[in-house]
């Protein structure tokens, strides 16, 4: 037994459930905007364990349009029981931890006006109910596609269940022996929908739901889809160029609407200025800046600088994090990342005189890296590049084709005059500088065309890439004017895997409110 591991875990739990100095200062903050005379109208706010979301919500609720609303919270803990004795022990520990975390965050969210907080699910109660009703509710799932096509009460739930299974059960593919895990997630999903119905019936006048962070997984995406189906306005979330997004039944993903980018750009004035600005920012990116990608651990354009790689290759494959959300952009022509990589490598094995290199994802988790090690052992004929390999060295090799599921490296490949191929839906779906397959067969057809040098970039591809880059990362795509945009709140966000304590510190020092007061003195209140 690794006592050091459990000791560190207990220290992390202690940190999460006890108030730190900045949190204590926040609780002493005098919130003069707390509502006293409330109407029946209500806003349901997704409560999450993140300081950025807390402060972002505070400034959102200061908008005039939300002046007379009562505020209610929705807590969505991601706790799942895995098999075995240690799994049961870990589950109980997680449930207890989440209970005390919620007690702490109730205090913090109460400070910005929330009167009560509901929970999306009660994991211990639902775990017991599942065991009682298991055989009655069990379904058969032979393939991943059997899971993905699931709906409940006309709400698409299969992709949410599958992504939750991959992420929270720490898997990288589906096997029928894991059928019970999927059945349990289906049970939890149905119970969660009933809980959401209970909240809506009890509160009666919920007009808005404000999600945070993401639309992936049951815990984030399900409330979005449920409330949209009940004609509740869903606004909020946070992506690369939006503080505030209006969700719809056709656009229920947290990313910027892939299908609207080109149309939006066509309505923007001074297009050449925007394109030139984007090119300057791309230049900074290729010098190692992470300004538009704070979620990355490090830049792939600064590390391990050498004159050249030892091996030459015709095709480069950039791997994803295999236990990440598979359907974040709406799915692909394969059922999941596992099917994509295994079928791709098996296909490329048959190609004579074609050398293939594969680079690991810089942010990959332990589960993902474990799978990659299995791939290395099985496909020894390919060149394996570690995650620290500088992309500039790869591009200098001038491969005929670069492949990624949907990663940012696709536009980076194209900008360096290299053919880039996705595996389906991606931010580049409606642009020609990345080749997007319509089907699995079309995907392999495009690989063959690239090998034979029959795929070509348009003449103006760099302008097209800059247009995309401006719209996806640099433009103000907010559907609602908001104070977070005015305060440039995202620049206070900490690096990946940190809890944004920096933003709470700036709030406690009065920096954010002072900047907002200056703006309001010179402008109209939003």
Indicate the pLDDT class of residue 35, thresholds 50, 70 and 90.
low
pLDDT attached to residue 341? 98
Contact 168, 198 (CB under 8 A): no
CA distance 516 to 33: 14
- pLDDT of 158 reads 97
**Residues of the chain with pLDDT > 70: what percent?**
90
pTM, two decimals, is: 0.93
Asked if residue 487 has pLDDT above 50, the reply is: yes
Q: What is the mean pLDDT of residues 307-319?
A: 89
Return the pLDDT at 292. 75
- Torsion of the alpha carbons at 413, 414, 419 and 422, rounded to the nearest 10: 80
Distance of alpha carbon 258 from alpha carbon 203, whole angstroms: 34
Residue at token pair 């609780």: 27
Q: How far is CA 463 from the centre of its chain?
A: 27
* Region of poorest pLDDT, from 75-89, 108-122, 339-353, 510-524: 75-89
pLDDT for the residue 5: 65
Does the pLDDT at position 229 exceed 90?
Answer: yes
CA pair distance 428, 425, nearest whole angstrom: 8
Give me the residue label for tokens 């875990």: 9
pLDDT at residue 302 tops 90 = no
Residue 88 has pLDDT above 90, yes or no: no
pLDDT digits (tens, 9 = 90+) for 122-161: 766 666 666 666 656 678 999 999 999 999 999 999 999 9
Q: Would the pLDDT of 1 be above 50?
A: no
**Cβ neighbours for 69, distance < 8 A, ≥ 6 positions apart:** 35, 38, 39, 41, 42, 43, 207, 208
Walk me through the domains of the chain, giving residue ranges and CATH numbers. 3-32+42-256+477-522 (no CATH), 264-474 (3.40.50.2000)
pLDDT at 498 over 90: no
The more confident residue out of 12 and 455 is 455
**The pLDDT of residue 7:** 74
**What pLDDT is attached to residue 156?**
97
Average pLDDT over residues 351-380: 94
Instruction: Give the pLDDT confidence score for residue 287 in this predicted structure.
Output: 87
- Mean pLDDT score, 518-522: 90
> For residue 205, what are the contacts with CB-CB under 8 A and spacing of at least 6?
40, 41, 42
Whole-number Å distance between alpha carbons of 250 and 261: 15
pLDDT at position 455 over 70: yes
Query: Residue 497: pLDDT above 50?
Result: no
The structure tokens 């080109």 sit at: 262
Tokens of 374: 């299995």
Length of the chain: 526
Residue 127 pLDDT:
65
pLDDT per residue as tens digits for the range 251-295: 999 999 999 999 999 999 999 999 999 999 999 998 887 777 776
Predicted local confidence at residue 299, as pLDDT: 79
Q: Average pLDDT, whole number, for the chain?
A: 89
Q: Are 289 and 473 in contact (CB under 8 A)?
A: no
pLDDT at 440: 97
Residues 244-263 have pLDDT tens digits of 999 999 999 999 999 999 99
Return the pLDDT at 326: 95
Q: What is the dihedral of CA 468, 472, 476, 481, to 10 degrees?
A: 140
| 269 CB-side CA count, 13 A | 0
Q: What percent of the chain has pLDDT over 90?
A: 69
Tokens of 280: 């300057």
User: Under DSSP, is residue 449 helix (H, G, I), strand (E, B) or coil?
Assistant: helix
Q: Which residue has the higher pLDDT, 519 or 36?
A: 519
* Highest mean pLDDT pick, 36-50, 297-311, 369-383: 369-383
């Amino acid at each position: 037994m690794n006592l050091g591991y459990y000791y560190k875990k207990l220290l992390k739990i202690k940190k999460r459930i006890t108030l730190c100095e900045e949190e204590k200062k926040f609780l002493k903050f005098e919130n003069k905007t707390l509502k006293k005379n409330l109407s029946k109208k209500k806003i349901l706010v997704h409560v999450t364990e993140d300081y950025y979301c807390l402060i972002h919500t505070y400034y959102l609720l200061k908008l005039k349009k939300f002046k007379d609303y009562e505020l209610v919270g929705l807590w969505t803990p991601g706790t799942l029981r895995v098999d075995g004795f240690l799994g049961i022990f870990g589950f109980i520990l997680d449930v207890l931890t989440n209970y005390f975390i919620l007690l702490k965050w109730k205090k913090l969210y109460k400070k910005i006006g929330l009167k009560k907080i509901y929970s999306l699910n009660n994991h211990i109660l639902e775990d017991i109910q599942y065991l009682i009703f298991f055989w009655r509710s069990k379904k058969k799932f032979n393939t991943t596609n059997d899971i993905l096509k699931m709906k409940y009460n006309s709400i698409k739930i299969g992709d949410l269940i599958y992504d939750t299974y991959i992420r929270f059960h720490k898997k990288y593919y589906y096997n029928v022996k894991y059928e019970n895990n999927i059945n349990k997630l289906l049970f939890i999903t149905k119970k969660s929908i009933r809980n959401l119905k209970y909240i809506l019936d009890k509160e009666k006048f919920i007009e808005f739901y404000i999600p945070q962070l993401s639309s992936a997984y049951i815990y984030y995406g399900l409330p979005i889809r449920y409330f949209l189906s009940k004609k509740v306005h869903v606004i909020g979330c946070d992506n690369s160029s939006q503080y505030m997004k209006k969700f719809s039944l056709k656009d229920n993903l947290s990313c910027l609407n892939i299908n609207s980018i080109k149309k939006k750009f066509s309505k923007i004035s001074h297009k050449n200025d925007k394109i030139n600005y984007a090119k300057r920012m791309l230049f900074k990116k290729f010098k190692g800046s992470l300004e538009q990608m704070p979620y990355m651990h490090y830049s792939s354009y600064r590390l391990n600088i050498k004159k050249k790689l030892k091996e030459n290759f015709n095709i480069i494959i950039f791997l994803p994090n295999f236990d990440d959300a598979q359907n974040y952009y709406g799915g692909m022509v394969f059922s999941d990342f596992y099917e994509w990589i295994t079928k791709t490598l098996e296909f490329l094995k048959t190609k004579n005189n074609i050398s293939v290199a594969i680079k690991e994802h810089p942010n990959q988790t332990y589960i993902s890296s474990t799978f990659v090690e299995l791939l290395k052992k099985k496909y020894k004929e390919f060149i394996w590049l570690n995650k620290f390999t500088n992309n500039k060295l790869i591009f200098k090799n001038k491969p005929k084709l670069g492949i990624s599921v949907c990663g940012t490296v696709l536009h980076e490949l194209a900008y360096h005059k290299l053919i880039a191929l996705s595996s389906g839906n991606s931010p580049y779906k409606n642009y020609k500088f990345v080749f997007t397959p319509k089907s699995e067969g079309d995907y392999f057809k495009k690989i063959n065309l690239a090998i034979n040098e029959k795929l070509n970039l348009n003449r103006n591809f760099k302008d097209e890439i800059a247009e995309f880059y401006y719209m996806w990362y640099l433009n103000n795509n907010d559907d609602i004017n908001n104070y977070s945009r005015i305060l440039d709140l995202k620049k206070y966000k900490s690096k990946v895997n940190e809890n944004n304590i920096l933003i709470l510190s700036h709030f406690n020092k009065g920096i954010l409110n002072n900047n907002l007061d200056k703006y309001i003195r010179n402008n109209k209140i939003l």
